[in-house]
A and B are shown apart, each in its own frame.
Chain A
């Protein structure tokens, strides 16, 4: 198991390096981040030269990449084209995104497993049919459309009915927030509900479908029939023998889907004006800000690798044959 994990780790590092090189080349070659300044005849040439030197724009690409990677290893991601250190921005945006993604993922996992299990044990009945309809409905709606629909048809009517804003559509908190813990918490929650709900509704359906089919397969297996024949309690058969085995494929799907969740988060952040990694990354792309894009890529890749590791470890927990094999 350990050697397997180490091999995975080594492969991940190589993939990480190669992908960072490719992204660096693509962003660095796609345009001049100081183009607008160069067009302005009134900006002294010394100013532009200083900015270019600061961003290493005059250096050859391999040298620029080497400067970036050697600094990044020490936690220094360089400067943005706005002349600010990348690292503090990265951490502050990451906190925002992780808050959304982790809460949404945790709730989506519980929802997906619950609906998947209930659909499987009530196969062909009203609940199963309703769940299938809902799953495919949410799968077919693009994330940004879903966000806009929730804003327009959930937040606005509820706020209008109550007479003041309880479901917010912009940002993570109100600008001039004051008051005690509960009023502040209420404001944070009011801002978080719709973005998190959007992300949940985008990610849970496919997991739920996997969970259902995995449960159906497990319910139809010999060991479950044997457990039933031995007279075990139905709840013990369902949880201990069926669900535990049925979770293995879903775990893989959830871990592999982490990149998709981050992709979804980019759009959710845009729709709800959350200043997370996604909004930051899009700003980096728009401004041809190589250091910002690279930092995003590195951190995203790290989390994808991390989640794959977690999946590998969970396999062992859920299936002893992997742990001791």
Chain B
């Protein structure tokens, strides 16, 4: 599970899942593929579309720690095949153009059988088969048994799931791939998405071989035709594509330095699709004014939250954390910040799943409305007295002084800064003094949070469709190897058991149930306070059809093959 950053946010969950054919109808249970047409009725012989990108990447192997970023995933969606896709409904479905069927044939040991489309080939004519699966497993296993070209260790963005595989074998001429796990892995659908071409990677190297775009052959709808780093990338239809070809012959990606420039680019006709990383009210207003465009604001798989550092002697008390939660008017924060952009945004009731994901349960009903009186009562229950408008602890370094915490976030984010000021004012009403001290993202995430140098912090976690990505955040911080992202110093054996069991469940519903039970305990212990889902904004010229914004890390290009020119 990779932490993929975009615009200073931290992403949890599975490694980038590249988008593939949106053909529905085949469940993971192994249903046969529906009949395919040679090409769709929207197939165009000429024409192009230009998509804005805002993040740069050094190379094209999105599965390395060096290149793992959101915008590269948008490109790779069109180039490398995946076994499963995350749809705009946030459901995970098999890629029916690559797979004839896929089935979990055994629970113990967990065994998955992939039957590949026998026509599936890379753009150089080499078949896509078991060799690719075996190589992708080796490269991402985290095992020192296998090395990259030149004997170097593989540079992986994530080894999750791959490090639980016991074997990958091919049969039926390599068109049937059998994956056996040592220990069960609930999110097995996140694996082999995307698939790196083994015969090329073995020759040029996994780590840096794909820094040269000419090595990036295609196994999907498009292939690279022209590339100038950080300037533009031109994709043309892959003539060797083995299934329904993409509708639009040419896709251009154009790099834009600042998100604020994207609406102007749309207006001047230089861009056709924009999906800015950071969304502000002014950007939305500007882009909405552009004529002949369609727009969408959707709740993303990304949520803002407050983290309470339990290494602080006062925040270690559950009553203090609960008092802060009862004193926080999240609805007001939403109304004053993102509410105008995305109507209907509500305080979030779950850390593991977002309201637009299957399985979401509102576990935070107790904190749905602020209750300052209850907050004060909780602080009084500790024997603390209010003096001069602020509670004074009766122990520790601040004994006899106003109860004071510092909230920290990333600099240069007006919405977060406004939220902090509202928080400061709301806490003053319940007798807690709040100081604001922000840091640049590398200092906050690189130093302050991992080393526990903070009291309260605000940032965003970016989820994927795979819930087990939350395991490392909420399992006990004492398990430093597994729970490296637990920066709040929270330890609860039951929560740890639930998130580990959930990640190993062979039944997806069991996994969701375990994570929801863990979340309910986290609400009771008020470990973190989820605020709201962040909105994602998309705009595109109305000469384009088939665009379905996708809140997952698959992004807007998840169904790029289905886009068409009107």
Chain A residues in contact with chain B, CB under 8 A? 30-33, 35-44, 46-48, 50-51, 80, 82-84, 89, 92, 151-152, 155-156, 159, 164-165, 167-176, 269-275, 279, 283, 288
Contact = CB atoms under 8 A, between A and B. Distances in A.
Contact size class for B? 35 or more
Contact of B66 (A82, A151, A176, A272): A82
A119 to B, nearest CB: 35
Contacts, number: 171
A151 B483 CA distance: 48
Nearest to A42: B158
B284 interface: no
A137 to B, nearest CB: 23
The secondary structure that dominates the A interface is loop
Interface string B234-267: 1000000000000000101111111001001101
Contacts of B232: 171, 173-175
Contacts of A283: 56
B254 A36 contact: no
Contact of B144 (A36, A41, A46, A279): A46
A43 B58 contact: no
A32 B450 CA distance: 12
Interface of B: 1-3, 5, 10, 48, 50, 56-59, 65-67, 142, 144, 152-160, 207-208, 211, 226, 229-234, 250, 252-258, 261, 264-265, 267-271, 440, 442-443, 445-447, 449-450, 472, 481-485
B257 A279 contact: yes
B371 to A, nearest CB: 34
Given A41-B485, A171-B231, 15 more contacts: A31-B440, A31-B442, A36-B445, A39-B485, A40-B484, A41-B482, A43-B65, A47-B65, A50-B153, A80-B58, A83-B208, A155-B268, A170-B261, A270-B258, A275-B229
Contacts of A168: 268, 270
B66 A83 contact: yes
Contact of B226 (A37, A84, A176, A271): A176
Contacts of B233: 175
Interface centre among A35, A51, A155, A269 (most CB of B within 10 A): A35
A151 B270 CA distance: 12
B153 A169 contact: no
Contacts of B271: 170
B258 A42 contact: no
B404 to A, nearest CB: 27
B210 to A, nearest CB: 11
Nearest to A164: B269
A37 to B, nearest CB: 5
Contacts of B264: 151-152, 155-156, 169
Given A31-B443, A170-B270, A273-B261, A175 B211 contact: no
A96 to B, nearest CB: 9
A69 B352 CA distance: 49
B226 to A, nearest CB: 7
Nearest to B236: A176
8 contacts: A32-B442, A40-B157, A43-B2, A47-B156, A92-B229, A164-B269, A168-B268, A169-B270
A37 B472 contact: no
Nearest to B1: A42
B66 A156 contact: no
B481 A41 contact: yes
Contacts of B270: 165, 168-171, 174
B223 to A, nearest CB: 14
Given A41-B472, A176-B226, A273-B261, A35 B255 contact: no
Interface centre among A167, A175, A272 (most CB of B within 10 A): A175
Contacts of B159: 42-44
A175 B225 CA distance: 11
Interface centre among B144, B153, B446, B450 (most CB of A within 10 A): B446
